[in-house]
Structure formats: C-alpha cells, structure tokens
Structure 1
Amino acid sequence: MSIQQYKHILVPIDGSQESELAFEKAVAVAKRNDGAELHMVHVVDTRAFQNISSFDTAMVEQVTETAKQTMDKYIAKAKEEGLDNVAYSIEYGSPKVVIANDVPKDLHTDLIMIGATGLNTVERILIGSVTEYVTRTAVCDVLVVRTGLDNK
C-alpha cells in the first residue's frame, strides 16, 4: 500500500487572513509531498465590474497589478521556506468556477487548499461562499484550512 502523494497543489489567494493560513499550510504540505508543485491563483471577479457604465479597463489593470504584487510576495515567501516548484496565475471570471473546475483541469490539480470563508450566515445564504461551492463541486480533493500551522 502506498501513501497518498499530492503532486499539484492549488491555493486560491484573495488577500484575506483565511487565504494566508491556507498558503502557509499549502507550503508545508508541498514540502512534505516531496517537491510537489504549489500553484497559487487569484481570481479577478469580472462580475464586480459589470455595473460600471463603461467597463473600465484601467480599474481592471489596477486590480491585476495589485494582485501581481501580492503574488510575488507569496512566491518569495515560499522560496524562503525552501519550496522551488511554485507559480501563480491571475484569472478572470467567476471565482467559484475558476477555482473548482477551470484551473484544476488545466493544471491537473490533485489537491485544493482553500481558506474557510469569512462570510456570515446571511451572506452565505444570499451569495453562497466560494469555499462551500468548491468543496461541493471540485474535480479533486479539497482541504478547507481553518487554522494556522499550530492548528489554532
């Protein structure tokens, strides 16, 4: 019997504390899984721009630039931790679908490590949490991270 080895780990990054915890644990899991690839994804929710009268490309470019700066910091942090096989992408669309289906299929992801949602109960009922959707519909294993490296 062989031990389950994850080769392609995906961690969505959205700037929240929850995604920070997921990133930290994903680095640790990638290291334990003998140099697994860690891929971070940030999804720019294009639906958020639909209400703006003229689709403002400058605004999208600003959001993208901010995301790139954040991702570059995470890449540096992962490399400091001794992880070489690390990359990121910035995608556009519905975060739920991109994280649960599109990116995992493209990258042959076998584990998604996602932060627990910060939404309250009413918000979850009205808009549904990305985390909840991903755990229900993802094409691979999903680990919802609720705690830091010390499991607190």
Structure 2
Amino acid sequence: MTLVYKQILVAVDGSEESKWAFKKAVAIADRNEATLNLINIIDTRSYAAVEAYDRSIAERAQKFAEELLSDYKLEAEKAGLQHVKVFVEYGSPKTMISRDLSKRLEADLIICGATGLNAVERFLIGSVSENIVRSAKCDVLVVRTPEE
C-alpha cells in the first residue's frame, strides 16, 4: 500500500524545532508533490493582558509571523516546491491547528516540532504538539531531530 499526502500542514513558530519540522515537511511535500501549508498561529491569550498597556504587541506579532512565513515560503520554493501557501491566524494553536485549520485545508498530514517557544504553557497545560497528536483526525509527524 502506498500512502501519498496531498495537503501537508506545518506549524512554525520561530523555534529551532519548528525549523526542523519545516525542513522535513519540504522534503515530504516534494516527494509527494503535495501542497505545503505553512501556518503561524498568534496566540491571543499570550499577549491579551499585556496589550492593554502596549498596543504595538499585536502589530509586532503580525509582522514577525508574516516575515517568518515569507522566509519559509521562499526557502520552500527554492527547494522546488510548486504549491506553497501561508496562513497567519489568531487564536489558540492547540485548537486552531488540529481542529480548525486541518479541517479547512483538508490536511492529510500535520507536521510540527516536539517543542516550541512557549515553555511556560507547556509546563502548565501540556504542549501544542501533544494536543495535536491527541485531537487531529489525520496523520501527525512530531519532529524531534534536525534534518540529516
């Protein structure tokens, strides 16, 4: 039996682990001639309280996400991918990735790093990748090692 992925969703947040996930996602998308959907979720819960004092936080988060995804898209296209889409969304990464976006994009594979940037949240309520594995309706690849 041959399994072919057509819609790959890769969550990136700027962490080293998400970069590894991106690189492996590019290789998998290339082998499968798949669409690579690059996702960055701006976690509104993380900065909602602080934003009352500093309104520029949302703008800076948006700018960071757009630049990150733009750089990754360019790198994927240079690697030969024909179909690369980018999405900046607001909300909880835990629910947005595995439930909302994967359904909307008809993802058949989600790729993410084992850990991301938010160590405090991971300690208190569990990691985003753990939640994706538990709740996704499609295959999930959790990347723990750099590209070899």
Normalized against structure 2, the TM-score is what? 0.91
The superposition leaves residues 62-83 of structure 1 with CA deviations (integer Å, 9 ceiling, x where unpaired) of 2101110111110110011000
Question: Between the two proteins, what is the percent identity of the paired residues?
Answer: 47
Offset at residue 58 of structure 1 (A):
2.9
Letter in structure 2 aligned against 1:30: A
- The alpha-carbon distance between structure 1 residues 84 and 135, as it changes in their structure 2 partners (threshold 3 A), is same
Q: Which residue of 2 aligns with 1:59?
A: 57
What is the SS of the residue equivalent to 2:45? helix
How big is the alpha-carbon RMSD for the aligned residues of Structure 1 and Structure 2? 2.1
Show the 5 A alignment for 1:30-109. 30-33=29-32, 35-52=33-50, 54=52, 57-109=55-107
Offset at residue 126 of structure 1 (A):
1.6
Matched, 1:128 2:109: no
**Alpha carbons 1:9, 1:113 under 8 Å: kept:** yes
Segments of 4+ in structure 1 off by > 4 A?
none
- The alpha-carbon distance between structure 1 residues 143 and 48, as it changes in their structure 2 partners (threshold 3 A), is same
Offset at residue 27 of structure 1 (A):
0.3
What is the SS of the residue equivalent to 1:43? strand
**Alpha carbons 1:10, 1:39 under 8 Å: kept:** yes
Q: Which residue of 1 aligns with 2:18?
A: 19
What is the SS of the residue equivalent to 1:51? helix
Find the aligned partners of 1:118 and 1:55 in 2 and give their Cα distance. Answer: 26
What is the SS of the residue equivalent to 1:117? coil
- Structure 1, unpaired ranges of 5+: none
- Structure 2, unpaired ranges of 5+: none
**Alpha carbons 1:49, 1:55 under 8 Å: kept:** no
Show the 5 A alignment for 1:2-17. 2-17=1-16
Find the aligned partners of 2:51 and 2:147 in 1 and give their Cα distance. Answer: 44
- The alpha-carbon distance between structure 1 residues 56 and 103, as it changes in their structure 2 partners (threshold 3 A), is farther
Q: Which has the larger radius of gyration?
A: 1
Offset at residue 13 of structure 1 (A):
0.5
Find the aligned partners of 1:98 and 1:142 in 2 and give their Cα distance. Answer: 15
Normalized against structure 1, the TM-score is what? 0.89
